[in-house]
């Protein structure tokens, strides 16, 4: 004997509820369970970080610095970018390696940036001398950049010059730029630079 209509409707409801439950469970599993792509991505990031740590350790050990200033700056920026990327990962191993990388970056920055700032000044001495401009470092870590020339007496000249060197000043983490325009250096104006110090990433 065939079942009544209400019984068929109940069976249909149970089937629908079952399918919805299965679908919900599948969605939950999809979002909660680790995905192969995520695991592969995390493994790649860990590998990149470990290779970078090895690279930094080698430079710390040998004292090696890239002879080209632009190459050195780009290398330090790539270090910082990799560390910043590690901050966005929830994977435990990525975070652990990221913390190691952070300490290594601070160590190499603290060691190299004073020399990089000095190298920058030395690289510009000759060309600026032709424009009757003297350039020098000041500060315990060469973090202050000093320009001396009568050309800098007008404030507009200072502002224009500072605008032209804005990128390199921040890249090399200078904290202050001073313009002097009198022979005895008494007439001067200083500009504080809102750049991160050597122990910041």
Residue 181, CA distances (Å) to 75, 84, 138, 147, 196 in order: 36, 41, 17, 8, 28
Q: What pLDDT, on the 0 to 100 scale, is given for residue 14?
A: 57
Would you tell me how many other CB atoms lie within 10 Å of the CB of residue 124?
A: 16
Would you tell me how many other CB atoms lie within 10 Å of the CB of residue 123?
A: 11
As a 3-state breakdown, the chain gives helix, strand, coil percent values, each rounded to 5, of 65, 10, 25
Question: What pTM, to 2 d.p., does this model score?
Answer: 0.79
Check if the beta carbon of residue 110 is closer than 8 Å to that of residue 198: yes
Q: What pLDDT, on the 0 to 100 scale, is given for residue 186?
A: 86
Dihedral sign for Cα 120, 123, 129, 131, please.
negative
Q: Is 188 helix (H, G, I), strand (E, B) or coil?
A: strand
Q: What pLDDT, on the 0 to 100 scale, is given for residue 29?
A: 46
Q: What pLDDT, on the 0 to 100 scale, is given for residue 187?
A: 95
Ordered mean pLDDT values, 10 residues apiece, the chain (201 residues)? 53 55 46 53 92 97 91 97 93 95 98 97 98 98 98 97 98 98 89 96 95
Q: What pLDDT, on the 0 to 100 scale, is given for residue 20?
A: 53
Q: What pLDDT, on the 0 to 100 scale, is given for residue 85?
A: 92
Domain borders along the chain are 5-116, 120-192
């Amino acid at each position: 004997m065939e079942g009544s209509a209400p019984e068929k409707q109940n069976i249909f409801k149970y089937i629908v509820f079952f399918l919805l439950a299965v679908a919900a469970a599948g969605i939950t599993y999809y979002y909660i369970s680790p995905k192969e792509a995520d695991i592969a991505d995390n493994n790649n990031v860990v590998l990149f970080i470990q290779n970078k740590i090895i690279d930094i350790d080698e430079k710390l050990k040998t004292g090696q610095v890239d002879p080209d200033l632009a190459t050195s700056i780009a290398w330090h920026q790539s270090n910082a970018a990799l560390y910043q990327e590690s901050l966005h990962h929830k994977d435990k191993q990525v975070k652990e390696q990221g913390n190691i990388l952070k300490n290594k970056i601070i160590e190499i920055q603290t060691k190299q940036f004073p020399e990089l700032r000095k190298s920058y000044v030395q690289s510009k001495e000759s060309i600026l001398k032709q424009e009757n401009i003297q350039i020098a470092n000041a500060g315990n870590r060469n973090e202050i950049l000093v320009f001396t020339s009568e050309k800098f007496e007008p404030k507009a000249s200072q502002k224009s010059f500072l605008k032209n060197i804005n990128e390199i000043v921040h890249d090399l983490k200078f904290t202050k730029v001073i313009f002097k325009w009198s022979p005895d250096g008494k007439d001067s104006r200083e500009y504080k630079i809102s750049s991160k110090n050597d122990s910041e990433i």
